[in-house]
Amino acid sequence: NEGNEYFKEKDYGRAVAAYSEGLRRRSGDAELDAVLLTNRGAAHFHLGNFRSALNDAIQAKKLKPTHLKAIIRGALCHMELKNFSEAIAWCEEGLQIDPKEKKLVEMRAKADKLKVNIKAAWHLQCLSLWDPWWERAPSRFLCSERNIKLVLEPSDEEDDVSGGLAEISLDGFHSDSATGAKVHLDADGNLNWPVLFLYPEHEQTDFTVAFHENSRFIDHLMVMFAELPPWDLEKKYLPNNLELYFEDEEREEMYEVNPEHTLLQVLQHERYFVKAGTPTVLVFVKRSPFSKKYFSGKKVHRL
């Protein structure tokens, strides 16, 4: 009830805390726990924590497979995460329960269309991210005074798509998770950035809409992986079992990122270049066979 009151007041952070406290009490009532998980997922969703919201929907569906609200929430999360095939699967599962559920019918059609046009959608998102942000001189000045290096030139491959588009490309792995969010200045004069996390081993991504420049990476990892992602079947993606890197594409070199460092400290690295207005980091499991193969033939600067 306390969580519901906070939710009505749009105080989603406290709503998450209240629902979590309810779950910690272990009522033994599967139906109640499914409701708590679904409600917490809704609060996470409004905070932009789509991964956590999806994990709650998955757990709620396990407890109550016919819980339509959990299925709708899970499908919405997959849509936000650009997992269109998974969104379609969740929609179809829900439509088996209620074939006339309007939200699922509409979402199913939208996911189908976006899955087909995913490349075009990515280009449009990058364009919407690019145009207004780079044109404003104050933003360039704020980055300049912080010694943050911006890449303004379009790549040769994308010259026919945009006059100022630099697509994120890492060994043929393209991200489809940018959502058009833009860097912005808060009331205290600090920059908040959209940040893209890439997981090459699983070809998955996370997108943080507002990463405060003075926040540490480890703090974000603790929130993002409070619940294991559904694609981590081996349960390896634990906050303290991860390594972060950025790639210097010009030199074809990799730089390890200290998770205790803030975003600003990383952006100020002499070889870090912000492309398309979105800082990007790669995430690997420590000493995994995949990372060893990925780094093979590349010069890696470790901590």
Q: 17 burial class (0-12, 13-18, 19+ CB within 10 angstroms)? A: middle
How many alpha carbons lie under 13 Å from residue 162 in its C-beta half-sphere? 21
The CA–CA distances, whole Å, from 130 to 26, 178, 276 equal 47, 11, 6
Could you tell me which of 87, 38, 95 has the C-alpha nearest to residue 61? 38
Q: Which helix (H) or strand (E) holds 173?
A: strand 173-174
Residue given tokens 């942000």 in the structure block: 133
Answer yes or no: same fold for 1-111 and 132-152+179-302: no
Cβ(280)–Cβ(168) under 8 Å? yes
* Arithmetic mean of pLDDT, 68-72: 93
H or E segment and range at residue 214: none
DSSP code for 154: P
How many CA atoms within 13 Å lie on the side-chain side of 143?
Answer: 25
| pLDDT tens, position by position, 25-61 | 888 889 999 999 999 999 989 888 888 889 899 999 9
Q: Which of 250, 277, 247, 279 is nearest to 263 (CA)?
A: 279
Residue 142 forms beta bridges with which residues? none
Is the separation of the CB atoms in 278 and 196 below 8 Å? yes
Q: What is the pLDDT of residues 127-166, one digit of tens each?
A: 444 444 444 445 566 788 899 998 864 444 433 333 332 3
- How much of the chain exceeds pLDDT 90, in percent? 44
Say if residue 109's pLDDT is above 60: yes
Over its C-alpha atoms, the chain yields an Rg (Å, rounded) of: 20
- First and final CA of the chain: distance in angstroms? 47
Q: Is 89 exposed, middle or buried (0-12, 13-18, 19+ CB in 10 A)?
A: middle
Residue 157: predicted pLDDT: 40
Q: 112 pLDDT exceeds 60?
A: yes
Residue 263 pLDDT more than 70? yes
Residues 6 or more apart from 34 whose CB is under 8 A from it?
Answer: 60, 63, 64, 67, 70
Burial class (CB in 10 A: 0-12, 13-18, 19+), 226: middle
pTM of this structure: 0.52
Least trusted range by pLDDT, from 54-58, 131-135, 186-190, 241-245: 131-135
Q: What is the mean pLDDT of residues 252-281?
A: 93
Fold classified for 132-152+179-302 = Ubiquitin-like (UB roll) (3.10.20)
**How many Å apart are CA 122 and CA 115, to the nearest integer?**
11
The answer to whether the CB of 154 falls within 8 A of the CB of 134 is no
pLDDT exceeds 90 at position 70:
yes
Cα gap 1→18, rounded to integer Å: 9
Residue range 126-135, pLDDT digits in tens: 444 444 444 4
Rounded distance, CA 285 to CA 221, Å?
A: 13
What's the pLDDT score for residue 180? 54
Confidence of residue 177 (pLDDT cuts 50, 70, 90): very low
Task: Please report the pLDDT score of residue 134 as a whole number.
Answer: 41
pLDDT of residue 225 exceeding 50, the answer is yes
Which amino acid, one-letter code, is at 24? R
Orientation angle between helical segments 12-24 and 30-47, nearest 10 degrees: 160
Task: For 1-111, give the CATH class.
Answer: mainly alpha
Report whether pLDDT(121) > 60: no
Contact yes or no for 22/6 (Cβ under 8 A): no
Q: What is the mean pLDDT of residues 177-193?
A: 73
Please report where in the chains the tokens 């044109």 appear, as a residue.
135
> So where are the chain's domains?
1-111, 132-152+179-302
